[in-house]
Amino acid sequence: MTEKTLILEMGMGADVHGHDMTKAALRAVSDAIRHSSLTLFKAYKHPADMRVEVTIAVPFPDQVDRQAVADALPYGRIEVTVIEGGLHDRGMGGQEDITLAVAGVKAFLDTEGHGFRPA
């Protein structure tokens, strides 16, 4: 197998009322994947065969529903890792209600047997 990283996108998502780590994470993933069109994967291999690594950084990693994040991606074998990061800050009225998540989404393709060769 000659797997190559072909796409890396980053995104940010917020939940401004409710401390919902999963909601912020889903918005970060949505932000990241809206920057990409994965036509490359359809051209060289069925998109369901690609591997996608998602890394989410939020203040409280144990509160993220990893399966919900994986289900938000349209194609591939999805691997979700959640780490501590992001932002948890006071919002309107002094309540701690702003949560920011950061997402990194990497897509991999097995290039073996294709005329396509990354440099």
- Condensed to tens digits (0 to 9), the pLDDT of residues 16-27 reads 888 899 999 999
Mean pLDDT (whole number) for 20-39: 87
Beta strands in the chain (DSSP E): 3-15, 51-58, 77-84, 87-90, 96-110
Q: Looking at the domain that runs over 3-110, which CATH code has it been given?
A: 3.30.1330.20
Give the mean pLDDT of the chain.
Answer: 85
- pTM of the entire predicted model: 0.83
Q: CA Rg, the chain, in Å?
A: 16
Give the integer Cα–Cα distance in Å for 56 and 67.
13
Residue 60 CB partners (closer than 8 Å, separation 6+): 21, 84, 88
pLDDT at 110: 78
